[in-house]
Structure 1
Amino acid sequence: MSEVRSRSTRPDRELAKAVQASKAPAISRAAAVLRLLGKSDAPLGLQTIARELGLVPSTCLYVLRALVAEEFVAFDLDTKRYSLEAGVLTLARHWLRRNRFNDLAQAALERISKTFDVTMMGVQIVGLEHIVVVACSQSGANLQVSAQIGSRFPALISATGRCIAAFGNHPEEELKSRFKELRWDHPPGFEEWLKQVARVRAQGFAVDDGHYIAGVTVVAAPVWKSRERPSHALVAIGIGSNLKRRGLPALQQELLGAARTLSTQLCGEV
């Protein structure tokens, strides 16, 4: 689930599609601008932002000026380019302060990461739309995954997606429609994937062995904040051959145990 190797569609297309489908276009446009600036390694000009999001430049300028006034976006008078402003940090800090999952999960992420030399992530599930990385612990020398807090991925991708499909009570037709949009190095067929989802229901965790990223094994276990469906997941990412040497079954059980403990802490027995 590397930000560099992400198999999602281009961010600009995703954001433009979301803007077009929104029933609250003003809010959607502002959110799309913020996400685009957040993904960019350098400040962007008006024309670039408008083109990437499929917006009329005058409309885009109106949104940008409003975000600058609210101190969410900064405007450089010399370069005529826009970037994120420190105001977004205030919102993020308030959210992190209220998020029990992050506080409870961090110690487990660091422990498992160190023990098995894997990159660990805590992700929040946003329906069938996407998952968002909200906590992480980087691995050692064997694999560095550049997914940072705030990184977004399609909900059904990799091992996490199998957990969402297994425990989310989503109609099969909707899963199939979303599945067709996913991008993998070695994509499984939908029927094969459904069989894997069924195994996840039985064992409580999911494994992606090189389907999403060749040579990389991803293990995920769901976390419940309520009894309806998983709200989060713990995700371990490592080089497949290295995990086999260090004990993949042990990692699976450690991850499953940590996820169950977190679920109990967040909402009681699940």
Structure 2
Amino acid sequence: MPKTEDNKYMIPSVDSAARILQYLSSYRHSHGSVTEISQALSINRSTCYRILFTLEKNNLVTFHEDKKVYSLGAYMAVLGNRAAELVDYLPIAKEYLKQASKLTNHACVLVERFGENRLIYIAKEESPAPVTVTLKEGQSFPLTAGSHGKCFLAFMDFMERESIIKQIGLTQFTDKTISQKEQFYKELDKVREHGYAISMEEHYPTLFGVASPVLDSSNKAVMTMSCIGMSSMVTMEQVHEYGSILGNLTKELSSRLYGVAQYSTL
């Protein structure tokens, strides 16, 4: 690591320990041997072993004797839950919402679950453009509706998803709504693959929506960040660009709130 004014006070062993924990917190690298971890993080193997040994003694990592690999330890769950309790997430999320509106030039909202089968706008950021749509905080709608609904359902336990769709169905809001279950599930596959969902006049005529999920440590959507505007004023290329913008912002927000740095498609 190059020396700068900011990192000259850093302790290398503590920095390495932090990077090891971050590495093991990712879904892709949830287990790793000493060799795998040391090579991935460019840490000397003997140093890596000593750090892992120390972390294990403090229950921050667990060593699995049968496979000779390490994973996060039980006490990390305690720390994560406590940190989540202390984080006032909405002011932080609103910072990213402002960025989303500025970068897309459209109205943007944060959406959460409301009860078992509905969603609700919990915060909004108006578009800086002269022509925009009006959104109201507190407005609610079915969990299966629009790009927001696709995000929540895509990152949901299969049985819970099946139960919700069985209860409320796939309502035909417009003539462009995807109401066939098989086709709808293919849409959810795309959401997990790309990290964002698109609705082109599927919930309201003349409106488009793009949403990306904020995931918690269990890979479930706790909220979505969505961009909404007039469908006649955008191309599909632009809509996908908005999806990428929102995806980058929600990944950063997920990491900041829950330590989640990437999506798992499993």
Give me the CA root mean square deviation: 2.3
**Alpha-carbon distance, 1:210 to partner:** 1.1
Which of 174, 185, 196 matches 2:174? 185
Q: Aligned equivalents of 1:191 and 1:231: distance in 2?
A: 25
Could you say which residue in structure 2 is the equivalent of 1:223?
A: 214
Using the size of structure 1 for normalisation, the TM-score is: 0.58
Q: Aligned equivalents of 2:217 and 2:100: distance in 1?
A: 25
Structure 2 SS opposite 1:198: helix
**Alpha-carbon distance, 1:211 to partner:** 1.1
Structure 1 SS opposite 2:158: coil
Could you say which residue in structure 1 is the equivalent of 2:200?
A: 209
Q: Are the aligned partners of 1:127 and 1:155 in contact in 2 as well (CA < 8 Å)?
A: no
Using the size of structure 2 for normalisation, the TM-score is: 0.58
**CA deviation profile, 1:130-167 (whole Å, cap 9, x unmatched):** 1222111012332222322x222211211111111111
Q: Aligned equivalents of 1:224 and 1:173: distance in 2?
A: 20
State the 4+ residue runs in structure 1 displaced beyond 3 angstroms.
none
Q: Are the aligned partners of 2:118 and 2:143 in contact in 1 as well (CA < 8 Å)?
A: yes
Q: Amino acid of the residue matched to residue 244 of structure 2?
A: Q
Q: Aligned equivalents of 1:145 and 1:254: distance in 2?
A: 21
**CA deviation profile, 1:76-134 (whole Å, cap 9, x unmatched):** xxxxxxxxxxxxxxxxxxxxxx8733211222222221332211001122474212221
Could you tell me which runs of 5 or more consecutive residues in structure 1 were left unpaired when the two chains were aligned: 1-97
**Alpha-carbon distance, 1:207 to partner:** 0.4
Bigger radius of gyration? 2
Q: Are the aligned partners of 2:106 and 2:126 in contact in 1 as well (CA < 8 Å)?
A: yes
**Alpha-carbon distance, 1:236 to partner:** 0.7
**CA deviation profile, 1:12-34 (whole Å, cap 9, x unmatched):** xxxxxxxxxxxxxxxxxxxxxxx
Q: Are the aligned partners of 2:98 and 2:125 in contact in 1 as well (CA < 8 Å)?
A: yes
Distance change (3 Å), C-alpha of 1:114 and 1:245 = farther
Could you say which residue in structure 2 is the equivalent of 1:158?
A: 146
* Correspondences of 1:107-256 after superposition (within 5 Å): 107-126=95-114, 128-139=116-127, 140-148=129-137, 150-171=138-159, 173-180=162-169, 182-186=171-175, 187-188=177-178, 189-244=180-235, 247-256=238-247
